[in-house]
Structure 1
Amino acid sequence: MAAVSTANAEHYHWGQSCDGWHLLAGDDLSVIEERMPPGSVEQRHRHARARQFFYVLEGEAMMELEGVVHRLHRGEGLHVPSGSAHQVRNESAADVRFMVISAPKSHGDRIPAPLEAVQP
Protein backbone atom coordinates (compact mmCIF):
# COMPACT_ATOMS: atom_id res chain seq x y z
CA MET A 1 0.00 0.00 0.00
CA ALA A 2 1.44 3.39 -1.04
CA ALA A 3 0.70 6.92 0.13
CA VAL A 4 -1.95 8.66 -1.98
CA SER A 5 -2.24 12.33 -2.95
CA THR A 6 -3.67 14.47 -5.73
CA ALA A 7 -0.38 13.86 -7.58
CA ASN A 8 -1.04 10.12 -8.00
CA ALA A 9 -4.80 9.63 -7.41
CA GLU A 10 -7.36 9.07 -10.17
CA HIS A 11 -8.39 12.53 -11.43
CA TYR A 12 -11.66 13.56 -13.08
CA HIS A 13 -13.37 16.78 -14.23
CA TRP A 14 -16.92 17.68 -13.29
CA GLY A 15 -19.34 20.59 -13.57
CA GLN A 16 -17.96 23.98 -14.50
CA SER A 17 -14.18 23.34 -14.72
CA CYS A 18 -14.09 21.59 -11.34
CA ASP A 19 -11.61 18.85 -10.42
CA GLY A 20 -11.87 15.75 -8.27
CA TRP A 21 -9.32 13.19 -7.07
CA HIS A 22 -10.36 9.75 -5.80
CA LEU A 23 -8.09 9.37 -2.76
CA LEU A 24 -10.03 6.25 -1.70
CA ALA A 25 -12.56 4.61 -3.98
CA GLY A 26 -14.15 1.76 -2.07
CA ASP A 27 -17.76 0.63 -2.37
CA ASP A 28 -18.28 1.14 1.37
CA LEU A 29 -16.23 4.35 1.74
CA SER A 30 -15.18 7.08 -0.68
CA VAL A 31 -12.74 9.93 0.01
CA ILE A 32 -12.46 12.62 -2.66
CA GLU A 33 -10.58 15.91 -2.73
CA GLU A 34 -12.28 18.48 -4.94
CA ARG A 35 -11.42 21.92 -6.33
CA MET A 36 -14.04 24.45 -7.42
CA PRO A 37 -12.97 27.67 -9.18
CA PRO A 38 -14.66 30.99 -8.40
CA GLY A 39 -18.30 31.16 -9.53
CA SER A 40 -18.75 27.40 -9.94
CA VAL A 41 -21.75 25.50 -8.60
CA GLU A 42 -22.78 21.85 -8.57
CA GLN A 43 -26.24 20.56 -9.47
CA ARG A 44 -28.53 20.38 -6.45
CA HIS A 45 -29.09 16.72 -5.62
CA ARG A 46 -29.55 14.08 -2.93
CA HIS A 47 -28.25 10.55 -2.34
CA ALA A 48 -30.60 7.66 -1.54
CA ARG A 49 -27.97 5.67 0.40
CA ALA A 50 -24.80 7.68 0.89
CA ARG A 51 -24.25 10.09 3.73
CA GLN A 52 -21.45 12.58 3.30
CA PHE A 53 -19.13 14.87 5.18
CA PHE A 54 -17.76 17.95 3.43
CA TYR A 55 -14.60 19.48 4.96
CA VAL A 56 -13.03 22.69 3.61
CA LEU A 57 -9.24 22.59 3.16
CA GLU A 58 -8.80 25.97 1.51
CA GLY A 59 -11.06 28.91 0.69
CA GLU A 60 -14.75 29.34 1.46
CA ALA A 61 -17.66 27.16 0.28
CA MET A 62 -21.36 27.85 0.40
CA MET A 63 -23.32 24.68 1.18
CA GLU A 64 -27.09 24.66 0.85
CA LEU A 65 -28.55 21.77 2.84
CA GLU A 66 -32.33 21.29 2.82
CA GLY A 67 -32.95 25.00 2.23
CA VAL A 68 -30.44 26.33 4.79
CA VAL A 69 -27.25 27.95 3.46
CA HIS A 70 -24.04 27.35 5.43
CA ARG A 71 -20.84 29.35 4.85
CA LEU A 72 -17.94 26.96 5.43
CA HIS A 73 -14.42 28.29 5.96
CA ARG A 74 -11.09 26.46 6.00
CA GLY A 75 -11.11 23.93 8.81
CA GLU A 76 -14.92 23.64 8.93
CA GLY A 77 -17.16 20.83 7.74
CA LEU A 78 -20.79 19.79 7.43
CA HIS A 79 -22.54 16.41 7.61
CA VAL A 80 -25.06 15.69 4.85
CA PRO A 81 -27.40 12.85 5.91
CA SER A 82 -28.58 10.43 3.22
CA GLY A 83 -31.72 11.66 1.47
CA SER A 84 -30.92 15.34 2.15
CA ALA A 85 -30.99 17.75 -0.79
CA HIS A 86 -27.77 19.75 -1.02
CA GLN A 87 -25.64 21.91 -3.28
CA VAL A 88 -22.14 23.31 -2.89
CA ARG A 89 -21.03 26.47 -4.65
CA ASN A 90 -18.08 28.83 -4.70
CA GLU A 91 -19.21 32.46 -4.53
CA SER A 92 -15.73 33.75 -3.63
CA ALA A 93 -12.96 35.15 -5.83
CA ALA A 94 -10.57 32.25 -5.08
CA ASP A 95 -10.55 28.49 -5.55
CA VAL A 96 -12.12 26.36 -2.83
CA ARG A 97 -10.66 22.93 -2.04
CA PHE A 98 -12.51 20.46 0.11
CA MET A 99 -12.80 16.80 1.02
CA VAL A 100 -15.96 14.79 0.46
CA ILE A 101 -16.17 11.60 2.52
CA SER A 102 -19.08 9.33 1.55
CA ALA A 103 -20.33 6.09 3.10
CA PRO A 104 -21.20 4.10 1.10
CA LYS A 105 -19.77 5.64 -2.11
CA SER A 106 -21.97 8.35 -3.63
CA HIS A 107 -21.12 7.75 -7.30
CA GLY A 108 -24.12 6.10 -8.94
CA ASP A 109 -26.37 7.21 -6.05
CA ARG A 110 -27.19 10.74 -7.22
CA ILE A 111 -30.81 11.92 -7.58
CA PRO A 112 -31.47 15.43 -8.97
CA ALA A 113 -33.26 17.68 -6.45
CA PRO A 114 -34.55 20.76 -8.27
CA LEU A 115 -34.51 24.00 -6.37
CA GLU A 116 -37.87 24.55 -4.73
CA ALA A 117 -38.24 27.37 -2.22
CA VAL A 118 -34.65 27.75 -1.00
CA GLN A 119 -33.81 30.91 0.88
CA PRO A 120 -30.37 32.50 0.17
Structure 2
Amino acid sequence: MKISKINAEHYIWGENCDGWQLVKNNDISVIHERMPPNTQEVRHYHHKSRQFFFVLKGLATIEVNGEIFDLSQNEGIELAPQIPHQMFNHSDEEIEFLVISQPNSKDDRETIS
Protein backbone atom coordinates (compact mmCIF):
# COMPACT_ATOMS: atom_id res chain seq x y z
CA MET A 1 0.00 0.00 0.00
CA LYS A 2 1.24 3.47 -0.91
CA ILE A 3 1.80 5.68 2.16
CA SER A 4 2.02 9.44 2.59
CA LYS A 5 1.23 12.15 5.14
CA ILE A 6 -2.30 12.17 3.68
CA ASN A 7 -3.16 8.58 4.66
CA ALA A 8 -0.63 7.83 7.45
CA GLU A 9 -1.63 7.57 11.10
CA HIS A 10 -1.25 11.11 12.50
CA TYR A 11 -0.65 12.29 16.06
CA ILE A 12 0.21 15.55 17.81
CA TRP A 13 3.03 15.68 20.34
CA GLY A 14 4.88 18.26 22.44
CA GLU A 15 4.22 21.90 21.65
CA ASN A 16 1.83 21.45 18.68
CA CYS A 17 4.24 19.23 16.74
CA ASP A 18 2.99 16.63 14.24
CA GLY A 19 3.98 13.05 13.56
CA TRP A 20 2.92 10.78 10.70
CA GLN A 21 3.61 7.06 11.22
CA LEU A 22 4.82 5.92 7.78
CA VAL A 23 6.03 2.45 8.86
CA LYS A 24 4.94 0.88 12.13
CA ASN A 25 5.83 -2.65 13.15
CA ASN A 26 7.84 -4.28 15.93
CA ASP A 27 11.10 -4.34 13.95
CA ILE A 28 11.19 -0.77 12.64
CA SER A 29 9.30 2.49 12.61
CA VAL A 30 9.57 5.44 10.23
CA ILE A 31 7.97 8.68 11.36
CA HIS A 32 7.72 11.96 9.42
CA GLU A 33 7.72 14.74 12.01
CA ARG A 34 7.05 18.48 11.86
CA MET A 35 8.11 21.01 14.50
CA PRO A 36 6.86 24.61 14.44
CA PRO A 37 9.31 27.47 15.08
CA ASN A 38 10.89 27.65 18.55
CA THR A 39 9.74 24.22 19.79
CA GLN A 40 11.56 21.28 21.33
CA GLU A 41 11.01 17.72 22.46
CA VAL A 42 11.87 16.48 25.96
CA ARG A 43 15.36 15.14 26.61
CA HIS A 44 15.29 11.34 26.66
CA TYR A 45 16.97 8.11 25.60
CA HIS A 46 15.83 4.73 24.34
CA HIS A 47 16.72 1.47 26.05
CA LYS A 48 16.89 -0.69 22.88
CA SER A 49 16.11 1.43 19.83
CA ARG A 50 18.78 2.73 17.47
CA GLN A 51 17.56 5.88 15.72
CA PHE A 52 18.39 7.86 12.61
CA PHE A 53 17.17 11.46 12.23
CA PHE A 54 17.13 12.90 8.68
CA VAL A 55 16.14 16.53 7.99
CA LEU A 56 13.79 17.08 5.05
CA LYS A 57 13.16 20.81 5.52
CA GLY A 58 14.71 23.59 7.59
CA LEU A 59 17.49 23.66 10.18
CA ALA A 60 17.18 21.31 13.16
CA THR A 61 19.35 21.33 16.25
CA ILE A 62 19.89 18.13 18.19
CA GLU A 63 21.69 17.73 21.49
CA VAL A 64 23.33 14.30 21.74
CA ASN A 65 24.87 13.36 25.09
CA GLY A 66 25.81 17.00 25.76
CA GLU A 67 27.09 17.78 22.24
CA ILE A 68 25.13 20.12 19.91
CA PHE A 69 24.68 19.38 16.19
CA ASP A 70 22.94 21.57 13.60
CA LEU A 71 21.36 19.50 10.84
CA SER A 72 20.44 21.18 7.56
CA GLN A 73 18.17 19.83 4.85
CA ASN A 74 19.43 16.44 3.58
CA GLU A 75 21.63 15.86 6.65
CA GLY A 76 21.14 13.26 9.36
CA ILE A 77 22.57 11.69 12.49
CA GLU A 78 22.48 8.15 13.89
CA LEU A 79 22.06 7.50 17.60
CA ALA A 80 22.83 4.27 19.42
CA PRO A 81 20.55 3.02 22.20
CA GLN A 82 21.07 4.52 25.68
CA ILE A 83 22.31 7.88 24.30
CA PRO A 84 20.50 10.92 25.77
CA HIS A 85 19.22 13.33 23.12
CA GLN A 86 16.81 16.19 22.44
CA MET A 87 15.62 17.78 19.17
CA PHE A 88 15.10 21.56 18.92
CA ASN A 89 13.78 23.99 16.36
CA HIS A 90 15.48 27.27 17.29
CA SER A 91 14.57 28.84 13.93
CA ASP A 92 11.65 31.02 12.86
CA GLU A 93 10.51 28.44 10.29
CA GLU A 94 9.04 24.97 10.72
CA ILE A 95 11.26 21.95 10.28
CA GLU A 96 10.40 18.49 8.96
CA PHE A 97 12.43 15.35 9.44
CA LEU A 98 12.29 11.56 9.44
CA VAL A 99 12.91 9.48 12.55
CA ILE A 100 13.77 5.86 11.78
CA SER A 101 13.88 3.58 14.82
CA GLN A 102 15.03 -0.04 14.92
CA PRO A 103 13.45 -1.77 16.72
CA ASN A 104 10.30 0.32 17.08
CA SER A 105 10.79 2.91 19.86
CA LYS A 106 7.23 2.65 21.22
CA ASP A 107 7.34 2.09 24.99
CA ASP A 108 11.17 2.26 24.85
CA ARG A 109 11.61 5.90 25.87
CA GLU A 110 12.99 7.12 29.19
CA THR A 111 12.54 10.83 29.92
CA ILE A 112 15.45 12.66 31.56
CA SER A 113 14.51 15.48 33.91
TM-score bracket, shorter-length normalisation = over 0.9
Structure 1: unaligned runs, 5 residues or longer: 115-120
Identity across matched positions, percent: 45
* Matching of residues 38-49 of structure 1 within 5 Å: 38-49=37-48
TM-score (norm 2): 0.99
Letter in 2 for 1:59: G
**Partners of 2:75 and 2:24 in 1: how far apart?**
23
Give CA deviations for 1:80-116 in whole Å, capped at 9, x if unaligned: 11000000010001000000000001111000123xx
**Partners of 2:35 and 2:88 in 1: how far apart?**
8
- Aligned Cα root-mean-square deviation (Å): 0.5
Match of 2:101 in 1: 102
Q: Structure 1 residue 76: deviation in Å?
A: 0.1
Letter in 2 for 1:8: N
Structure 2: unaligned runs, 5 residues or longer: none
1:86 aligns with 2:80: no
**Partners of 1:46 and 1:79 in 2: how far apart?**
13
Query: More strand by proportion, 1 or 2?
Result: 2
* Matching of residues 22-101 of structure 1 within 5 Å: 22-101=21-100
What is the number of equivalent residue pairs in this alignment?
Answer: 113
**Partners of 2:69 and 2:112 in 1: how far apart?**
18
